Structure 1
Amino acid sequence: MTSKKFAHLNWNDLRVFHAFANTDSVNSASRHLGVDNSTVSRRLLALEKSIDTMLIRRTRNGYKLTGDGIQLKSLVQEMTDGVENIQQWLKEKQTTLSGSVSISCCDISLPRLSLLIRHFQAKYPSVKFTIHATARLANMGANGVDLAIRATNHPDDSLVGICLEHFSFALAAPSSATHQDLLPWVGLNDGQQTLPSERWQGLEKLRCHSTLSTDSYLNVAQLIANGNGIGLIPEFIVRGDPLLQRFPTQSPLPEWQLWLLFQPQLRKSPVMRTFCDFLKVNWQVTHSTLNEELSPSPAC
Protein backbone atom coordinates (compact mmCIF):
# COMPACT_ATOMS: atom_id res chain seq x y z
CA MET A 1 0.00 0.00 0.00
CA THR A 2 1.50 3.33 -1.06
CA SER A 3 1.21 6.78 0.45
CA LYS A 4 -0.34 7.87 -2.85
CA LYS A 5 -3.43 5.79 -2.05
CA PHE A 6 -3.79 7.49 1.32
CA ALA A 7 -3.92 10.85 -0.44
CA HIS A 8 -7.24 9.74 -1.97
CA LEU A 9 -8.78 8.61 1.34
CA ASN A 10 -12.38 9.83 1.40
CA TRP A 11 -13.35 11.19 4.82
CA ASN A 12 -17.04 10.75 4.00
CA ASP A 13 -16.34 7.03 3.60
CA LEU A 14 -14.91 7.02 7.12
CA ARG A 15 -18.08 8.68 8.38
CA VAL A 16 -20.15 5.92 6.77
CA PHE A 17 -17.84 3.28 8.25
CA HIS A 18 -18.19 4.85 11.70
CA ALA A 19 -21.99 4.68 11.51
CA PHE A 20 -21.84 1.05 10.38
CA ALA A 21 -19.18 -0.02 12.90
CA ASN A 22 -21.29 1.20 15.82
CA THR A 23 -24.21 -1.04 14.82
CA ASP A 24 -22.85 -3.84 12.56
CA SER A 25 -25.92 -3.12 10.45
CA VAL A 26 -26.24 -1.55 7.01
CA ASN A 27 -29.91 -0.76 7.71
CA SER A 28 -29.13 1.07 10.95
CA ALA A 29 -26.24 2.97 9.37
CA SER A 30 -28.39 4.07 6.43
CA ARG A 31 -31.15 5.30 8.76
CA HIS A 32 -28.62 7.19 10.89
CA LEU A 33 -27.05 8.86 7.84
CA GLY A 34 -30.30 9.42 5.95
CA VAL A 35 -29.20 7.51 2.84
CA ASP A 36 -30.27 4.22 1.26
CA ASN A 37 -28.69 0.83 1.94
CA SER A 38 -26.97 0.63 -1.42
CA THR A 39 -25.12 3.89 -0.76
CA VAL A 40 -23.79 2.56 2.56
CA SER A 41 -22.67 -0.73 0.98
CA ARG A 42 -21.02 1.08 -1.92
CA ARG A 43 -19.12 3.50 0.34
CA LEU A 44 -17.89 0.66 2.56
CA LEU A 45 -16.54 -1.22 -0.46
CA ALA A 46 -14.92 1.97 -1.74
CA LEU A 47 -13.19 2.49 1.62
CA GLU A 48 -11.80 -1.05 1.66
CA LYS A 49 -10.53 -0.62 -1.88
CA SER A 50 -8.95 2.77 -1.18
CA ILE A 51 -6.88 1.43 1.74
CA ASP A 52 -6.45 -2.08 0.27
CA THR A 53 -7.67 -3.65 3.52
CA MET A 54 -10.64 -5.89 4.37
CA LEU A 55 -12.59 -4.25 7.15
CA ILE A 56 -15.85 -6.20 7.13
CA ARG A 57 -16.46 -9.93 6.92
CA ARG A 58 -19.73 -10.73 5.19
CA THR A 59 -21.35 -13.93 6.51
CA ARG A 60 -24.72 -15.65 6.25
CA ASN A 61 -25.58 -14.23 9.68
CA GLY A 62 -24.73 -10.66 8.79
CA TYR A 63 -21.67 -8.45 8.95
CA LYS A 64 -18.72 -8.60 11.35
CA LEU A 65 -15.70 -6.34 11.66
CA THR A 66 -12.33 -7.90 10.96
CA GLY A 67 -9.36 -7.27 13.23
CA ASP A 68 -8.35 -4.34 11.02
CA GLY A 69 -11.93 -3.12 11.09
CA ILE A 70 -11.95 -3.09 14.89
CA GLN A 71 -8.70 -1.10 14.95
CA LEU A 72 -10.00 1.39 12.41
CA LYS A 73 -13.24 1.76 14.39
CA SER A 74 -11.22 2.87 17.41
CA LEU A 75 -9.18 5.35 15.36
CA VAL A 76 -12.26 6.82 13.67
CA GLN A 77 -13.96 7.17 17.08
CA GLU A 78 -10.99 9.26 18.27
CA MET A 79 -11.34 11.41 15.16
CA THR A 80 -15.07 11.85 15.77
CA ASP A 81 -14.50 12.82 19.38
CA GLY A 82 -11.86 15.31 18.26
CA VAL A 83 -14.22 16.91 15.74
CA GLU A 84 -16.95 17.18 18.39
CA ASN A 85 -14.50 18.82 20.79
CA ILE A 86 -13.49 21.31 18.11
CA GLN A 87 -17.14 22.09 17.36
CA GLN A 88 -17.85 22.65 21.06
CA TRP A 89 -14.77 24.86 21.37
CA LEU A 90 -15.84 26.96 18.39
CA LYS A 91 -19.36 27.24 19.76
CA GLU A 92 -18.09 28.49 23.12
CA LYS A 93 -15.61 30.82 21.42
CA GLN A 94 -18.33 32.38 19.29
CA THR A 95 -20.78 32.73 22.17
CA THR A 96 -20.67 36.22 23.64
CA LEU A 97 -22.29 36.54 27.04
CA SER A 98 -23.33 39.98 28.17
CA GLY A 99 -25.45 41.40 30.93
CA SER A 100 -25.34 42.36 34.59
CA VAL A 101 -25.21 40.23 37.72
CA SER A 102 -25.82 41.57 41.23
CA ILE A 103 -24.63 39.43 44.13
CA SER A 104 -25.14 39.69 47.86
CA CYS A 105 -22.46 37.77 49.75
CA CYS A 106 -21.28 37.17 53.29
CA ASP A 107 -17.83 38.45 54.11
CA ILE A 108 -16.09 35.06 54.27
CA SER A 109 -17.09 34.32 50.66
CA LEU A 110 -15.80 37.62 49.24
CA PRO A 111 -12.11 36.68 48.72
CA ARG A 112 -12.94 33.53 46.74
CA LEU A 113 -15.87 35.18 44.92
CA SER A 114 -13.76 38.13 43.76
CA LEU A 115 -11.08 35.77 42.44
CA LEU A 116 -13.60 33.70 40.49
CA ILE A 117 -15.29 36.79 39.06
CA ARG A 118 -11.92 37.96 37.78
CA HIS A 119 -11.40 34.67 35.94
CA PHE A 120 -14.99 34.63 34.67
CA GLN A 121 -14.67 38.14 33.25
CA ALA A 122 -11.41 37.16 31.54
CA LYS A 123 -13.53 34.78 29.46
CA TYR A 124 -16.71 36.90 29.31
CA PRO A 125 -15.60 40.55 29.52
CA SER A 126 -19.05 41.91 28.63
CA VAL A 127 -20.61 40.63 31.88
CA LYS A 128 -20.79 43.29 34.61
CA PHE A 129 -20.96 42.50 38.33
CA THR A 130 -22.22 44.41 41.36
CA ILE A 131 -21.27 42.97 44.76
CA HIS A 132 -23.01 43.75 48.04
CA ALA A 133 -20.91 42.38 50.91
CA THR A 134 -23.25 42.21 53.88
CA ALA A 135 -24.21 39.92 56.74
CA ARG A 136 -27.89 40.58 56.08
CA LEU A 137 -30.01 38.43 53.77
CA ALA A 138 -30.76 40.73 50.85
CA ASN A 139 -34.06 40.90 48.97
CA MET A 140 -34.04 38.71 45.89
CA GLY A 141 -36.09 39.15 42.76
CA ALA A 142 -37.07 42.00 40.46
CA ASN A 143 -36.17 44.74 42.96
CA GLY A 144 -33.34 42.95 44.73
CA VAL A 145 -30.13 41.09 43.97
CA ASP A 146 -29.88 38.23 41.48
CA LEU A 147 -27.74 35.86 43.54
CA ALA A 148 -26.86 35.45 47.20
CA ILE A 149 -24.01 33.54 48.83
CA ARG A 150 -24.84 32.75 52.42
CA ALA A 151 -23.28 30.76 55.25
CA THR A 152 -26.06 28.62 56.71
CA ASN A 153 -27.01 25.05 57.48
CA HIS A 154 -30.66 25.77 56.63
CA PRO A 155 -31.01 27.52 53.25
CA ASP A 156 -34.35 28.99 52.16
CA ASP A 157 -36.22 26.14 50.44
CA SER A 158 -38.19 28.60 48.28
CA LEU A 159 -34.96 29.36 46.39
CA VAL A 160 -32.74 27.21 44.21
CA GLY A 161 -29.75 26.27 46.35
CA ILE A 162 -26.30 25.02 45.35
CA CYS A 163 -24.04 23.99 48.22
CA LEU A 164 -20.63 25.44 47.38
CA GLU A 165 -18.70 24.21 50.39
CA HIS A 166 -18.88 22.42 53.75
CA PHE A 167 -16.43 23.81 56.28
CA SER A 168 -15.62 23.71 59.97
CA PHE A 169 -14.46 26.44 62.31
CA ALA A 170 -11.02 26.55 63.88
CA LEU A 171 -9.69 28.13 67.04
CA ALA A 172 -7.31 30.66 65.51
CA ALA A 173 -4.38 32.30 67.25
CA PRO A 174 -1.49 34.54 66.17
CA SER A 175 1.30 32.48 64.61
CA SER A 176 3.68 33.62 67.39
CA ALA A 177 1.37 32.67 70.29
CA THR A 178 1.71 29.63 72.58
CA HIS A 179 -0.99 27.69 74.40
CA GLN A 180 0.11 29.21 77.70
CA ASP A 181 -0.59 32.77 76.56
CA LEU A 182 -3.76 34.21 78.12
CA LEU A 183 -4.98 36.21 75.16
CA PRO A 184 -8.30 38.10 74.88
CA TRP A 185 -11.21 36.51 73.05
CA VAL A 186 -11.97 38.11 69.66
CA GLY A 187 -15.55 37.62 68.49
CA LEU A 188 -18.47 39.19 66.68
CA ASN A 189 -20.65 42.07 67.85
CA ASP A 190 -23.75 41.56 69.99
CA GLY A 191 -26.07 41.55 66.97
CA GLN A 192 -24.49 38.33 65.69
CA GLN A 193 -24.56 36.21 68.84
CA THR A 194 -26.81 33.58 67.23
CA LEU A 195 -24.06 32.48 64.83
CA PRO A 196 -22.38 29.10 65.51
CA SER A 197 -19.02 30.59 66.49
CA GLU A 198 -20.63 32.87 69.07
CA ARG A 199 -22.74 30.11 70.63
CA TRP A 200 -19.67 27.92 71.14
CA GLN A 201 -18.68 27.69 74.80
CA GLY A 202 -15.36 25.86 74.77
CA LEU A 203 -12.98 25.98 77.73
CA GLU A 204 -10.50 28.05 75.72
CA LYS A 205 -13.14 30.76 75.32
CA LEU A 206 -14.39 30.66 78.90
CA ARG A 207 -10.94 31.20 80.41
CA CYS A 208 -10.39 34.46 78.50
CA HIS A 209 -10.63 37.41 80.90
CA SER A 210 -11.24 40.10 78.29
CA THR A 211 -12.97 40.32 74.95
CA LEU A 212 -12.78 42.28 71.74
CA SER A 213 -15.59 42.30 69.18
CA THR A 214 -16.01 43.40 65.59
CA ASP A 215 -18.55 43.07 62.78
CA SER A 216 -17.21 40.33 60.46
CA TYR A 217 -15.17 37.13 60.41
CA LEU A 218 -12.57 38.72 58.14
CA ASN A 219 -12.09 41.48 60.71
CA VAL A 220 -11.85 38.87 63.48
CA ALA A 221 -9.13 37.13 61.46
CA GLN A 222 -7.25 40.40 60.95
CA LEU A 223 -7.35 41.25 64.65
CA ILE A 224 -6.10 37.78 65.57
CA ALA A 225 -3.30 38.00 62.99
CA ASN A 226 -2.31 41.36 64.52
CA GLY A 227 -1.91 39.68 67.92
CA ASN A 228 -5.09 41.01 69.58
CA GLY A 229 -6.32 37.61 70.78
CA ILE A 230 -7.78 34.25 69.78
CA GLY A 231 -11.18 33.36 68.33
CA LEU A 232 -13.26 31.07 66.14
CA ILE A 233 -13.15 31.66 62.39
CA PRO A 234 -13.69 29.40 59.36
CA GLU A 235 -10.86 26.89 59.05
CA PHE A 236 -10.07 27.81 55.43
CA ILE A 237 -9.19 31.37 56.54
CA VAL A 238 -6.65 30.03 59.03
CA ARG A 239 -5.23 27.66 56.42
CA GLY A 240 -4.65 30.48 53.95
CA ASP A 241 -3.00 33.01 56.28
CA PRO A 242 0.63 32.49 57.42
CA LEU A 243 0.06 34.93 60.31
CA LEU A 244 -2.49 32.56 61.86
CA GLN A 245 -2.22 29.15 63.48
CA ARG A 246 -4.79 26.64 64.67
CA PHE A 247 -5.00 25.74 68.36
CA PRO A 248 -6.44 22.36 69.41
CA THR A 249 -9.66 22.39 71.44
CA GLN A 250 -11.25 20.05 73.96
CA SER A 251 -14.80 20.78 72.76
CA PRO A 252 -16.16 19.93 69.28
CA LEU A 253 -16.13 22.86 66.88
CA PRO A 254 -19.17 23.96 64.86
CA GLU A 255 -19.56 23.27 61.14
CA TRP A 256 -21.21 25.39 58.48
CA GLN A 257 -22.04 25.45 54.78
CA LEU A 258 -21.80 28.05 52.02
CA TRP A 259 -24.83 28.17 49.71
CA LEU A 260 -25.43 29.90 46.39
CA LEU A 261 -29.10 30.94 46.30
CA PHE A 262 -31.27 32.35 43.51
CA GLN A 263 -34.82 32.48 42.18
CA PRO A 264 -35.80 29.46 39.99
CA GLN A 265 -36.65 31.61 36.95
CA LEU A 266 -33.06 32.89 36.73
CA ARG A 267 -31.97 29.52 35.30
CA LYS A 268 -33.54 30.72 32.03
CA SER A 269 -30.95 33.49 31.76
CA PRO A 270 -27.80 32.37 29.85
CA VAL A 271 -25.63 34.72 31.91
CA MET A 272 -26.97 33.51 35.27
CA ARG A 273 -26.91 29.86 34.25
CA THR A 274 -23.34 30.06 32.96
CA PHE A 275 -22.06 31.95 36.01
CA CYS A 276 -23.82 29.68 38.52
CA ASP A 277 -22.41 26.60 36.79
CA PHE A 278 -18.97 28.23 36.81
CA LEU A 279 -19.16 28.85 40.57
CA LYS A 280 -20.39 25.32 41.24
CA VAL A 281 -17.50 23.74 39.34
CA ASN A 282 -14.70 26.07 40.46
CA TRP A 283 -15.54 27.19 44.00
CA GLN A 284 -13.31 24.69 45.76
CA VAL A 285 -10.48 24.83 43.23
CA THR A 286 -7.39 26.19 44.96
CA HIS A 287 -6.14 29.69 44.16
CA SER A 288 -2.91 28.34 42.70
CA THR A 289 -4.73 25.94 40.38
CA LEU A 290 -7.02 28.66 39.08
CA ASN A 291 -4.09 30.96 38.43
CA GLU A 292 -2.22 28.22 36.58
CA GLU A 293 -5.25 27.43 34.41
CA LEU A 294 -5.79 31.02 33.29
CA SER A 295 -2.27 32.41 33.32
CA PRO A 296 -0.83 33.25 29.88
CA SER A 297 1.33 30.63 28.20
CA PRO A 298 5.07 31.34 28.19
CA ALA A 299 6.43 32.85 25.00
CA CYS A 300 7.97 30.40 22.56
Structure 2
Amino acid sequence: MNWDDMRVFLALARSGTLARAAALVEQDATTVARRIQRLEAALATTLFEHGATGQTLTESGHRLLAHAEAMEAGARAVAQQAESGAGLGGTIRISVSEGFGMGFMAPRLPGFTEAHPGIALDLIASTGFLNPSRREADIAIMLARPKGGPLIAAKLTDYRLGVYASADYLAATGPVESVEALTRRRLVGYVPDLIFAPELRYLAEVDERLEPAIRSSSISAQALLIAGGAGCGILPCFMGDRHPALVRLLAQEVAIERSFWLVVHRDMRRVARIEAFIGWLREEVSAAQPTLLGKAFKK
Protein backbone atom coordinates (compact mmCIF):
# COMPACT_ATOMS: atom_id res chain seq x y z
CA MET A 1 0.00 0.00 0.00
CA ASN A 2 1.31 3.44 -0.98
CA TRP A 3 2.33 5.39 2.16
CA ASP A 4 1.83 8.72 0.38
CA ASP A 5 -1.81 7.81 -0.28
CA MET A 6 -2.20 6.84 3.36
CA ARG A 7 -0.69 10.18 4.39
CA VAL A 8 -3.31 11.96 2.28
CA PHE A 9 -6.01 9.75 3.80
CA LEU A 10 -4.86 10.69 7.32
CA ALA A 11 -4.87 14.39 6.45
CA LEU A 12 -8.46 14.23 5.17
CA ALA A 13 -9.64 12.07 8.08
CA ARG A 14 -8.23 14.58 10.58
CA SER A 15 -9.11 17.83 8.84
CA GLY A 16 -12.54 16.94 7.44
CA THR A 17 -12.30 18.96 4.21
CA LEU A 18 -10.37 18.62 0.97
CA ALA A 19 -9.07 22.19 1.24
CA ARG A 20 -7.61 21.73 4.73
CA ALA A 21 -6.19 18.31 3.84
CA ALA A 22 -4.57 19.80 0.74
CA ALA A 23 -2.88 22.45 2.88
CA LEU A 24 -1.59 19.82 5.31
CA VAL A 25 0.02 17.67 2.59
CA GLU A 26 0.98 20.66 0.41
CA GLN A 27 -0.99 19.51 -2.63
CA ASP A 28 -4.04 20.91 -4.38
CA ALA A 29 -7.54 19.74 -3.46
CA THR A 30 -8.05 18.04 -6.85
CA THR A 31 -4.97 15.89 -6.30
CA VAL A 32 -6.15 14.99 -2.79
CA ALA A 33 -9.55 13.91 -4.14
CA ARG A 34 -7.93 11.87 -6.90
CA ARG A 35 -5.62 10.06 -4.47
CA ILE A 36 -8.51 9.24 -2.14
CA GLN A 37 -10.45 7.83 -5.10
CA ARG A 38 -7.41 5.73 -6.05
CA LEU A 39 -7.15 4.40 -2.50
CA GLU A 40 -10.86 3.58 -2.40
CA ALA A 41 -10.55 1.76 -5.71
CA ALA A 42 -7.56 -0.24 -4.50
CA LEU A 43 -9.42 -1.26 -1.35
CA ALA A 44 -12.76 -1.74 -3.12
CA THR A 45 -14.59 0.27 -0.46
CA THR A 46 -15.87 3.76 0.31
CA LEU A 47 -13.80 5.57 2.94
CA PHE A 48 -15.61 8.92 3.18
CA GLU A 49 -19.13 10.23 3.02
CA HIS A 50 -19.30 13.58 1.25
CA GLY A 51 -21.59 16.17 2.84
CA ALA A 52 -22.24 19.88 2.66
CA THR A 53 -19.72 20.63 5.40
CA GLY A 54 -16.99 18.23 4.30
CA GLN A 55 -15.96 14.59 4.44
CA THR A 56 -16.66 12.15 7.28
CA LEU A 57 -15.29 8.65 7.69
CA THR A 58 -17.41 5.65 6.86
CA GLU A 59 -17.17 2.46 8.93
CA SER A 60 -14.51 1.21 6.50
CA GLY A 61 -12.72 4.52 6.85
CA HIS A 62 -12.62 4.20 10.64
CA ARG A 63 -11.11 0.71 10.32
CA LEU A 64 -8.47 1.97 7.92
CA LEU A 65 -7.68 4.90 10.21
CA ALA A 66 -6.33 2.58 12.91
CA HIS A 67 -4.00 0.89 10.40
CA ALA A 68 -2.92 4.23 8.91
CA GLU A 69 -2.04 5.63 12.33
CA ALA A 70 0.01 2.51 13.08
CA MET A 71 1.90 3.02 9.82
CA GLU A 72 2.43 6.66 10.72
CA ALA A 73 3.78 5.74 14.14
CA GLY A 74 6.22 3.31 12.54
CA ALA A 75 7.40 5.93 10.07
CA ARG A 76 7.85 8.41 12.92
CA ALA A 77 9.89 5.91 14.93
CA VAL A 78 12.22 5.39 11.97
CA ALA A 79 12.59 9.16 11.60
CA GLN A 80 13.36 9.56 15.30
CA GLN A 81 16.03 6.87 15.12
CA ALA A 82 17.59 8.61 12.14
CA GLU A 83 17.50 11.94 13.98
CA SER A 84 19.26 10.53 17.02
CA GLY A 85 22.09 9.28 14.86
CA ALA A 86 22.45 12.18 12.46
CA GLY A 87 21.69 15.30 14.48
CA LEU A 88 18.48 17.28 14.68
CA GLY A 89 16.54 17.92 11.51
CA GLY A 90 13.07 18.17 10.03
CA THR A 91 10.26 20.70 10.25
CA ILE A 92 8.29 21.97 13.25
CA ARG A 93 4.90 23.57 12.64
CA ILE A 94 3.93 25.90 15.49
CA SER A 95 0.42 27.29 15.91
CA VAL A 96 0.26 30.37 18.10
CA SER A 97 -1.92 33.41 18.69
CA GLU A 98 -0.97 36.42 16.59
CA GLY A 99 0.08 38.56 19.55
CA PHE A 100 2.44 36.00 21.10
CA GLY A 101 3.68 34.82 17.73
CA MET A 102 4.50 38.26 16.34
CA GLY A 103 5.13 40.17 19.56
CA PHE A 104 7.19 37.62 21.45
CA MET A 105 8.30 34.57 19.49
CA ALA A 106 9.22 35.99 16.09
CA PRO A 107 11.97 38.33 17.35
CA ARG A 108 13.52 35.44 19.32
CA LEU A 109 13.29 32.61 16.75
CA PRO A 110 16.58 33.46 14.99
CA GLY A 111 18.36 32.30 18.14
CA PHE A 112 16.77 28.86 17.83
CA THR A 113 17.47 28.51 14.11
CA GLU A 114 21.10 29.51 14.61
CA ALA A 115 21.48 26.80 17.26
CA HIS A 116 19.62 24.21 15.15
CA PRO A 117 20.26 24.96 11.46
CA GLY A 118 18.84 21.60 10.38
CA ILE A 119 15.37 22.36 11.74
CA ALA A 120 12.89 24.32 9.61
CA LEU A 121 10.11 26.24 11.35
CA ASP A 122 6.55 27.01 10.22
CA LEU A 123 5.18 29.78 12.45
CA ILE A 124 1.40 29.93 12.03
CA ALA A 125 0.50 33.12 13.88
CA SER A 126 -3.14 34.01 13.30
CA THR A 127 -6.59 34.15 14.83
CA GLY A 128 -7.61 30.67 15.91
CA PHE A 129 -5.35 27.68 16.33
CA LEU A 130 -4.38 24.65 14.32
CA ASN A 131 -5.28 21.41 16.08
CA PRO A 132 -2.48 19.13 17.33
CA SER A 133 -5.06 16.35 17.85
CA ARG A 134 -5.59 16.31 14.09
CA ARG A 135 -1.85 16.72 13.41
CA GLU A 136 -2.46 20.14 11.87
CA ALA A 137 0.41 21.44 14.01
CA ASP A 138 3.28 19.87 15.95
CA ILE A 139 3.08 22.41 18.78
CA ALA A 140 0.33 24.86 19.72
CA ILE A 141 0.62 27.75 22.17
CA MET A 142 -3.00 28.18 23.27
CA LEU A 143 -4.98 30.56 25.47
CA ALA A 144 -6.68 27.74 27.41
CA ARG A 145 -5.90 24.15 28.28
CA PRO A 146 -7.61 21.81 25.80
CA LYS A 147 -10.34 19.68 27.31
CA GLY A 148 -9.62 16.43 25.51
CA GLY A 149 -7.73 14.60 22.81
CA PRO A 150 -4.45 12.65 22.68
CA LEU A 151 -2.50 15.67 23.88
CA ILE A 152 0.04 16.68 26.48
CA ALA A 153 -0.68 20.17 27.81
CA ALA A 154 1.24 22.22 30.36
CA LYS A 155 1.17 25.86 31.34
CA LEU A 156 3.88 27.76 29.52
CA THR A 157 3.57 31.09 31.32
CA ASP A 158 1.23 33.65 32.81
CA TYR A 159 1.14 37.10 31.23
CA ARG A 160 -0.54 40.42 31.88
CA LEU A 161 -2.43 42.92 29.77
CA GLY A 162 -3.01 46.61 30.38
CA VAL A 163 -4.71 49.69 29.00
CA TYR A 164 -2.61 51.72 26.56
CA ALA A 165 -2.84 54.96 24.62
CA SER A 166 -0.37 57.04 22.67
CA ALA A 167 1.31 60.03 24.28
CA ASP A 168 -0.02 62.23 21.47
CA TYR A 169 -3.60 61.04 22.04
CA LEU A 170 -3.33 61.80 25.76
CA ALA A 171 -1.82 65.21 25.06
CA ALA A 172 -4.79 66.04 22.85
CA THR A 173 -7.56 64.59 25.03
CA GLY A 174 -6.19 64.81 28.57
CA PRO A 175 -5.16 62.16 31.10
CA VAL A 176 -7.16 59.01 31.87
CA GLU A 177 -7.10 58.67 35.63
CA SER A 178 -9.95 56.22 36.29
CA VAL A 179 -11.99 53.48 34.69
CA GLU A 180 -14.90 55.92 34.72
CA ALA A 181 -12.85 58.31 32.57
CA LEU A 182 -12.01 55.41 30.26
CA THR A 183 -15.72 54.89 29.54
CA ARG A 184 -15.78 58.35 27.95
CA ARG A 185 -12.86 57.70 25.58
CA ARG A 186 -12.80 56.21 22.12
CA LEU A 187 -11.76 52.57 22.43
CA VAL A 188 -9.99 50.14 20.12
CA GLY A 189 -10.75 46.43 20.45
CA TYR A 190 -11.81 43.16 18.85
CA VAL A 191 -14.75 42.65 16.51
CA PRO A 192 -17.16 41.01 18.97
CA ASP A 193 -18.52 38.27 16.71
CA LEU A 194 -15.03 37.35 15.45
CA ILE A 195 -13.47 36.75 18.88
CA PHE A 196 -12.22 33.16 18.63
CA ALA A 197 -11.64 32.58 22.36
CA PRO A 198 -13.45 33.85 25.47
CA GLU A 199 -10.07 34.76 26.99
CA LEU A 200 -9.94 37.70 24.54
CA ARG A 201 -13.02 39.46 25.95
CA TYR A 202 -11.01 41.99 27.94
CA LEU A 203 -13.08 45.18 27.88
CA ALA A 204 -16.15 43.75 29.59
CA GLU A 205 -13.89 42.39 32.30
CA VAL A 206 -12.74 45.93 33.08
CA ASP A 207 -16.21 47.51 32.87
CA GLU A 208 -19.35 46.27 31.13
CA ARG A 209 -19.90 49.73 29.65
CA LEU A 210 -16.73 49.61 27.60
CA GLU A 211 -17.41 49.09 23.88
CA PRO A 212 -14.84 49.48 21.10
CA ALA A 213 -15.58 52.11 18.47
CA ILE A 214 -12.75 50.94 16.21
CA ARG A 215 -12.54 47.17 15.90
CA SER A 216 -10.17 44.66 14.34
CA SER A 217 -9.72 40.91 14.50
CA SER A 218 -5.94 41.53 14.56
CA ILE A 219 -4.17 42.46 17.81
CA SER A 220 -1.25 43.79 15.74
CA ALA A 221 -3.65 46.12 13.92
CA GLN A 222 -5.11 47.21 17.25
CA ALA A 223 -1.62 48.06 18.52
CA LEU A 224 -0.95 50.16 15.42
CA LEU A 225 -4.30 51.93 15.76
CA ILE A 226 -3.67 52.76 19.42
CA ALA A 227 -0.12 53.93 18.68
CA GLY A 228 -1.48 56.08 15.87
CA GLY A 229 -3.83 57.94 18.22
CA ALA A 230 -7.10 56.19 17.39
CA GLY A 231 -7.98 55.79 21.07
CA CYS A 232 -7.30 53.65 24.12
CA GLY A 233 -7.16 49.87 24.10
CA ILE A 234 -6.01 46.75 25.89
CA LEU A 235 -2.79 45.06 24.80
CA PRO A 236 -0.52 42.37 26.21
CA CYS A 237 2.23 44.09 28.18
CA PHE A 238 4.88 42.30 26.12
CA MET A 239 3.56 44.28 23.15
CA GLY A 240 2.44 47.55 24.72
CA ASP A 241 5.41 48.17 27.01
CA ARG A 242 7.86 47.83 24.16
CA HIS A 243 6.14 50.22 21.78
CA PRO A 244 7.85 53.63 22.01
CA ALA A 245 4.66 55.57 21.25
CA LEU A 246 2.52 53.91 23.90
CA VAL A 247 1.86 54.77 27.54
CA ARG A 248 0.32 52.33 29.99
CA LEU A 249 -2.73 53.69 31.84
CA LEU A 250 -4.42 52.68 35.08
CA ALA A 251 -1.73 50.14 35.96
CA GLN A 252 -3.04 49.74 39.50
CA GLU A 253 -6.71 49.53 38.57
CA VAL A 254 -6.42 47.34 35.46
CA ALA A 255 -4.07 44.35 35.49
CA ILE A 256 -5.67 41.55 33.48
CA GLU A 257 -3.97 38.16 33.77
CA ARG A 258 -4.05 35.30 31.30
CA SER A 259 -1.99 32.18 30.59
CA PHE A 260 -0.43 30.50 27.59
CA TRP A 261 -0.58 26.71 27.39
CA LEU A 262 1.97 24.56 25.57
CA VAL A 263 0.19 21.73 23.75
CA VAL A 264 1.70 18.86 21.78
CA HIS A 265 0.37 15.53 20.52
CA ARG A 266 1.50 12.80 22.88
CA ASP A 267 3.11 10.86 20.02
CA MET A 268 5.32 13.86 19.19
CA ARG A 269 6.46 14.82 22.68
CA ARG A 270 9.65 12.71 22.60
CA VAL A 271 10.67 13.59 19.06
CA ALA A 272 14.12 15.13 19.39
CA ARG A 273 13.42 18.33 17.44
CA ILE A 274 10.20 18.91 19.41
CA GLU A 275 12.02 18.45 22.71
CA ALA A 276 14.72 20.86 21.56
CA PHE A 277 12.19 23.53 20.65
CA ILE A 278 10.18 23.15 23.86
CA GLY A 279 13.35 23.39 25.94
CA TRP A 280 14.43 26.51 24.09
CA LEU A 281 11.00 28.15 24.40
CA ARG A 282 10.78 27.49 28.13
CA GLU A 283 14.20 29.10 28.62
CA GLU A 284 13.11 32.17 26.63
CA VAL A 285 9.88 32.49 28.59
CA SER A 286 11.66 32.09 31.92
CA ALA A 287 14.16 34.82 31.05
CA ALA A 288 11.37 37.15 29.87
CA GLN A 289 9.08 36.98 32.91
CA PRO A 290 9.39 40.72 33.67
CA THR A 291 8.40 41.50 30.09
CA LEU A 292 5.49 39.06 30.09
CA LEU A 293 4.21 40.28 33.43
CA GLY A 294 4.52 43.95 32.57
CA LYS A 295 7.28 44.89 35.00
CA ALA A 296 10.20 45.63 32.73
CA PHE A 297 9.17 48.97 31.27
CA LYS A 298 7.32 51.29 33.66
CA LYS A 299 5.65 54.30 32.06
* TM-score, length of structure 1 as denominator length: 0.56
Q: Deviations over 1:17-48 (max 9, x none)?
A: xxxxxxxxxxxxxxxxxxxxxxxxxxxxxxxx
Match 1:256 to one of 258, 264, 269: 258
| C-alpha contact 1:149 1:260 (8 A) present in aligned 2 | yes
Q: Which residue of 1 aligns with 2:99?
A: 108
Give the aligned residue type for 1:217. Answer: I
**Equivalent pair of 2:142/2:260 in contact (CA under 8 Å):** yes
TM alignment of 1:56-95, pairs within 5 A: none
Select 1:235's aligned residue among 234, 237, 248. 237
3-state SS in 1 of match to 2:276: helix
Which of 122, 137, 149 is 2:129 aligned to? 137
Aligned to 2:155: 163
Matched AA of 1:233 = L
Matched with 1:195 is 198
C-alpha distance after superposition, 1:122-157 (max 9, x if no partner): 0111110112112212122564111111223x4445
Q: Is the 8 A contact 1:101 1:127 kept in 2?
A: yes
What is the CA-CA distance between 1:201 and the residue it aligns to? 3.1
1:284 & 1:107 partners in 2: Cα distance?
A: 20
1:92-131 Cα distance to aligned partner (Å, 9 max, x none): xx97311110111101111322233210110111110112
The count of residues paired between Structure 1 and Structure 2 equals: 193
1:278 matched residue in structure 2: 280
Q: Which residue of structure 1 lines up, in the alignment, with residue 43 of structure 2?
A: none
Matches within 5 A, 1:11-50: none
1-side partners of 2:252 and 2:134: how far apart? 48
In structure 2, the CA distance between the partners of 1:280 and 1:156, relative to structure 1 (3 Å rule), is farther
Do the aligned residues in 2 keep the contact of 1:98 with 1:271 (CA within 8 Å)?
yes
The one-letter code sitting in structure 1 at the alignment partner of 2:204 is Q
- SS for the counterpart of 1:109 is helix
Q: Residue 163 of structure 2 contacts residue 254 of structure 2 at CA under 8 Å; is this kept in 1?
A: no
Q: Distance in 1 between matches of 2:142 and 2:116?
A: 25
Residue 90 of structure 2 is matched in structure 1 by 99
| More displaced 10-residue stretch of structure 1: 233-242 or 98-107 | 233-242
Residues 150 and 264 of structure 1, relative CA distance in 2, 3 Å threshold = same
Residues 140, 147 of structure 1: 8 Å contact kept: yes
Query: Secondary structure in 1 aligned to 2:231?
Result: coil
Segments of structure 1 that go 5 or more residues without pairing to the other structure are 1-93, 290-300
Structure with max Cα Rg: 1
Q: TM-score, normalized by length of structure 2?
A: 0.56
Q: Cα–Cα, structure 1 residues 165 and 207, in superposed 2: closer, same or farther, change >3 Å?
A: closer
